[in-house]
Amino acid sequence: MNIPFVSFLPMERELENSIRASFERVFESSRYIGGSEDRSFEIAFADYCGSKFCIGVGNGLDALMLSLKALGIKEGDEVIVPSDTYIATALAVTYVGAKPVFVEPDIRTFNIDPDRIEAAITENTKAVMPVHLYGQPCDMDPIMATAEKYGLYVVEDCAQAHGASYKGRKVGTFGIAAGFSFYPGKNLGALGDAGAVVTDDADLADKIRALGNYGSDYKYHHIYKGNNSRLDELQAAFLSAKLPHLDRMNRERQRIARVYTESIINPKIIKPYVPEGCGPVWHIYAIRCAERDALERYLNEKGIGTNKHYPIPMHLQECYKDLNIPKGSLPVAEEISSTELSIPMYYGMTDDETEYVIDAINRF
Ligand SMILES: *Cc1c(COP(=O)(O)O)cnc(C)c1O
């Protein structure tokens, strides 16, 4: 049997007609940037998240970067980010000229450890960026309490967590702003690059929108030195076709995760841990294993696709040599990078396929 790490085919087959109709609608309108598709998706996505405003942008990295820029974060400032995340979180910080300060995760949840945040705060700290990694919500109550105590902004990285909830409330509604990615592989994916910011702050929303549109508040009037990062009409139309199905598709991921968690019984495997009150959406199902690389080879030989999230922690990446954080100084992130393995997880995986994966893992 051949089981890819991820497949869009089942979802695409199911939604093919509405995706093609979205294309036709935009094509007929001859309007490709700044039209009604962008606006109607923004309204629908803000409503979905339970936020007042949504600003469509070019991608998830821009969503985070423009949020930090709009908050006035700049050179000389520090922003706390988890030591274990996709590099985009840290790149958003360095793009605005600020310094990322890495805080270790709780190894059971893979998410930033709220108890370690306080020790990383200095007089230059301006913001905390919790990342709801793999679709699992961070422990937001203590994070918000610490941020409030020190007057820090919270900008959530929701790129992997569309629809995830913490104590009944959707992620993206806790901080002053939240960045989403609609990269094709994310739980809500476009047919290309796309992203969005959600916020309840009207002034911040206006500023982010202007920053992503050449710093312009109205045509040919520029108040900021902005960027070009807009959600195009085609991607917005595709996203509007998919959004009504997101919860159902997330529920299917939750079902597959439940089957994995119940049926993987090999003692060499550490399964993901979901704390009380967390409603994860399983962007990734991440297991840990001391013999990770051997397990990966073994599964690949059996036709099972896998991935590592992420094989090199950010502080050991070439681009962050200037931060001078030596190997060994962030042991939790390093441990995760050498033991984590992501197994197949996507909408439309059949029972035969999940059983095949489970059986292979249990025989390792
Ligand atoms: C995908 C991702 C991003 C970046 O999104 P893009 O749309 O690819 O720019 C940011 N943060 C995390 C955690 C991600 O997984």
Instruction: Please tell me whether the overall predicted TM-score, pTM, comes out greater than 0.95 for this model.
Output: yes
| Whole-Å CA distances, 209 to 54, 194, 199, 218, 326 | 9, 14, 12, 11, 39
Count of Cβ atoms closer than 10 Å to residue 338 Cβ: 15
Say if ligand 1 is within 6 A of residue 88 CB. Answer: yes
Cα-to-centroid distance, 364 and ligand 1 (Å)? 32
**Cβ distance 177 to 208 under 8 Å?**
yes
Percent of the chain with pLDDT over 90: 99
Average pLDDT over residues 20-25: 98
Count of Cβ atoms closer than 10 Å to residue 68 Cβ: 25
Say if ligand 1 is within 6 A of residue 89 CB. Answer: yes
Cα-to-centroid distance, 88 and ligand 1 (Å)? 6
Cα-to-centroid distance, 158 and ligand 1 (Å)? 8
Say if ligand 1 is within 6 A of residue 314 CB. Answer: no
Q: What is the rounded distance in angstroms from the CA atom of residue 213 to the CA atom of residue 322?
A: 31
pLDDT at 363: 98
pLDDT at 73: 98
pLDDT digits over 252-303, tens only? 999 999 999 999 999 999 999 999 999 999 999 999 999 999 999 999 999 9
Say if ligand 1 is within 6 A of residue 61 CB. Answer: yes
Say if ligand 1 is within 6 A of residue 163 CB. Answer: no
Average pLDDT over residues 108-132: 98
